[in-house]
Amino acid sequence: MPDELILTEIDHVAIAVRDLDAAVDFYQRAFGATVAHREIVDSDGVEEALVKVADSYIQLTAATRDDSPIAKAIEKRGEGLHHIGYRVDDCQAALDAMVAAGATPIDKAPRPGSRGTTVAFIHPKGACGTLIELVQE
Ligand code: CO
């Protein structure tokens, strides 16, 4: 067990959507939400819009190409909750702790994410059925 709590914040809740502009428009009309950051992440084949909620984000995420993980998720399950981003101080240390606890990493090592973050994904199998992203700012 780690000596101290590794999680510092919920970084984001990621929701897979078909139409990013329509999703942003819905969040604006429903919540008066404004987009704090919007970015295309070419390596992941996604475009995301981040709606800030206190120190966390709702990350509306759409696919930019057919082989994107978001495209595959929507094809399988439709739109909806895709993953939870847990904010950590040290992505490598958090990844090591999760693997030591029996989780299966998707990323063997931390890699660049959006907003200049460092991230690593953990497979839902062995992690309570939840796709987890470790996010270091
Ligand atoms: Co994410």
Residues tagged active-site: 12, 48, 59, 83, 133
C-alpha span between 55 and 128 (Å, rounded):
25
* CA 30 to ligand 1 center in whole angstroms: 22
> Domain holding 26: CATH number?
3.10.180.10
Strands 118-122 and 132-136: antiparallel
What distance in angstroms lies between residue 12's CA and the mean position of ligand 1's atoms? Answer: 7
Q: What is the pLDDT along the chain (137 residues), one digit of tens a residue?
A: 777 888 999 999 999 999 999 999 999 999 999 999 999 999 889 999 999 999 999 999 999 999 999 999 999 999 999 999 999 999 999 999 999 999 999 999 999 999 999 999 999 998 999 999 999 99
**Is position 15 within any domain?**
yes
Q: Give the count of domains, the chain.
A: 1
Which of 68, 44, 73, 58 has the alpha carbon at shortest distance from 131?
Answer: 73
Question: Is 128 domain-assigned?
Answer: yes
Residue 1 placed within a domain: no
pTM: 0.93
- Ligand 1 centre to CA of 134 (Å) is 8
Asked if residue 25 belongs to a domain, the reply is yes
Q: Residue 2: inside a domain, yes or no?
A: no
